[in-house]
Amino acid sequence: MNTERRILRRISPRRAAITAASGALALTTVLTTGLALAGPAGASTLTSSGYQFQTLNNNRDVTFNQLLGVNNEGVIAGYFGSGAQGHPNQGYLLHNGYFTSENFPGSVQTQVTGLNDRGVTVGFWSTMNTASQTNNNFGFYAAGGRFHTVNFPTGDNASPQVDQLLGVNDHDVAVGFYTNGQGSNRGYTYDIRTHQFTRVLVPGAPAGQAGPSLTAAGINNRGDVTGFYAASSTQTDAFLRLSYGRFLTLAVPGASGTQALGVNDSDEVVGVYTVGSGDNAQMHGFTWRPGYGFQTVDDPHGIGATTINGVNDAGVLVGFYTDAAGNTDGMIAQPR
């Protein structure tokens, strides 16, 4: 199962021109809700795979939550709502047991996908919540109480437009992707301070060609970027591109797809890999560390249905899993 599909089904983005600095919008939709945490009864904390797990759901919708990023202060970015018509994505930050709503002003749907230690958050928003879940998406960052739209400047956008920011480091460099008119993802970095875009490419693409479909999903303070790309028509591999240019392909042995979604300053990469296909496919969270390789990390309530989406420098993991009732639950995993 493709994490791109998971993201794009929620809300889809696109925009031909960059408006990063012009959207001086007040943070009018942010309020502290003070909601308690919710999770499966009698199973709020479990241990497995060297981690202690806790289910964290916003009580506004305990049937669908995804936790997507965590910083070194323990603040978590995420959202609730499946994205089905009438159940729009609604972004939030979670800290010390309290949820704070964060939604792009005037948006119908918002996902908060990443954050740094300086108070900057990133994500994407939509003006739509259609029955088909084929919606436009526009990237954004929020800083100092203001939201700014960010979209890669291109005339070759999908229809509807899809552009998303997925991570940001403490130097205010964000990563994300847009989808072109041929349906391929094009990863990039975006410097919030200078408003400069830089493409993230797989080395060795033929001259004059943009290379395979690629999503840039995470970036650390060293400038190392992680994500995933189409290694072939049937295989998706993760990657870690180091700041000096070395490009490492990361693929779980025997997996039909490996997708890296986050990275910390020790180059610990997290994500999800898929085994099998169709109705028999299983999704397992993973961590990868230089010199140690891969470790499977599944929430005990979601073995074979877990995604690890973010990691901080202490090795704290956030993500989500599908439970026995078919709900999507947010989760945090603390190293033991």
pLDDT tens digits, one per residue of 321-333 = 999 999 999 999 9
- Average confidence (pLDDT) over 154-181: 98
Inform me whether the pLDDT recorded for 186 exceeds 60.
yes
Inform me whether the pLDDT recorded for 188 exceeds 90.
yes
Inform me whether the pLDDT recorded for 243 exceeds 70.
yes
pLDDT tens digits, one per residue of 21-50 = 222 222 222 333 334 444 443 334 566 679
Tell the residue number behind the tokens 């410097």, with chain if given: 191
| Burial of 90: CB neighbours in 10 Å, binned 0-12, 13-18, 19+ | buried
pLDDT tens digits, one per residue of 84-124 = 999 999 999 999 999 999 999 999 999 999 999 999 999 99
List the domain range (segments joined by +) for residue 277: 3-335
- Average confidence (pLDDT) over 115-139: 98
Inform me whether the pLDDT recorded for 14 exceeds 80.
no
- What pLDDT band is residue 208 in, cutting at 50, 70 and 90? low
Mean pLDDT of the chain: 87
Inform me whether the pLDDT recorded for 240 exceeds 50.
yes
Higher local confidence (pLDDT), 9 or 329: 329
Name the percent of the chain lying above pLDDT 90: 81
pLDDT winner (highest mean) among 5-9, 38-42, 168-172: 168-172
- Average confidence (pLDDT) over 127-151: 97
pLDDT of residue 144: 87
User: Per the structure, how many domains does the chain have?
Assistant: 1
Residue 206: count of CB within 10 angstroms of its CB: 7
Are 176 and 164 in contact by the 8 Å Cβ rule? The answer is yes
pLDDT of residue 145: 87
- Average confidence (pLDDT) over 198-226: 90
Are 188 and 198 in contact by the 8 Å Cβ rule? The answer is yes
- Average confidence (pLDDT) over 1-27: 31
Report the alpha-carbon distance of residue 233 to residue 301 in Å, rounded.
32
pLDDT of residue 48: 66
- Give the residue from 117, 121, 109 showing the smallest Cα distance to 147: 121
CATH number of 222's domain:
2.120.10.30
Report the alpha-carbon distance of residue 318 to residue 71 in Å, rounded.
10
pLDDT tens digits, one per residue of 263-299 = 999 999 999 999 998 889 999 999 999 999 999 999 9
Q: Which two tokens stand for residue 28?
A: 């009018």
What are the φ and ψ backbone dihedral angles of 304, each rounded to 5 degrees? 85, 5
Q: Which two tokens stand for residue 112?
A: 């908060």
Report the alpha-carbon distance of residue 239 to residue 244 in Å, rounded.
14
Name the percent of the chain lying above pLDDT 70: 84
